[in-house]
Amino acid sequence: MVRPIIAGNWKMNKTVAESVDFAERLRSTYQTPPIGRYYRPPFTALRSVARPSGILILLSAQNLHEAEKGAYTGEISGAMLREAGCAYVIVGHSERRTLFGEGDDRINRKLRSGLTAGLKPIFCVGESLREREEGTMETVIERQLKEGLNNLTADDIGLLVIA
């Protein structure tokens, strides 16, 4: 079943104080949301935005590393995200693919890492403008899906949100 969601990705914007203020304004504006809302503040604001409010807020991280732990300066694990209050994590965002060179194999490892940590990955697929103009959109998305979902069980795939 396809269930619509509203998801705001704050990217590398908003300090902790700005994130909390923004989340409070969203909470007060939409007391009873008709569908799930996913907040994606910067890592530094996760705990502050996650505080209980009585309003359905599904906290999502913007990224994770595929390893559980290790010498990966500046990275964050799925377990760390769960402890910070996240239920979801974005994997495969176009900016991670293009700016950071994340390929389908790494994205697959990140999906599996998120699932292992008890997170529900929001698996992003999509073509670039160039790929769309070249008419390879369907081939690109098919490859991303096949490679990204490689070695995942049907139960795993059932936990994903595909964007």
What confidence tens digit (pLDDT) does each residue in 22-65 have? 888 877 776 665 555 667 777 777 777 776 555 556 788 999 99
Do both 49 and 86 map to the same domain?
A: no
Q: Say which residue, 26 or 162, is predicted with more confidence.
A: 162
Expressed as residue numbers, the domain containing 5 is 1-62
Can you give the pTM of this predicted structure? 0.86
What is the tally of structural domains in the chain? 2
Looking only at the bridges linking them, the beta strands covering 120-123 and 6-9 are: unpaired
Q: What pLDDT was estimated at residue 36? A: 57
The total of other beta-carbon atoms located within 10 Å of residue 147's CB is 14
What confidence tens digit (pLDDT) does each residue in 89-145 have? 999 999 999 999 999 999 999 999 999 999 999 999 999 999 999 999 999 999 999
For the cut 90, the answer to whether the pLDDT of residue 12 exceeds it is no
In a domain, residue 109? The reply is yes
pLDDT grade, residue 77 (50/70/90)? very high
In a domain, residue 68? The reply is no
For the cut 70, the answer to whether the pLDDT of residue 67 exceeds it is yes
In a domain, residue 91? The reply is yes
Looking only at the bridges linking them, the beta strands covering 120-123 and 161-162 are: parallel
Q: What pLDDT was estimated at residue 1? A: 63
In a domain, residue 71? The reply is no
Ramachandran quadrant class, 90 (left: phi over 0; alpha: psi -120 to 50; beta: rest): beta
Do both 46 and 89 map to the same domain?
A: no
Q: What is the CATH number of the domain that holds 120?
A: 3.20.20.70
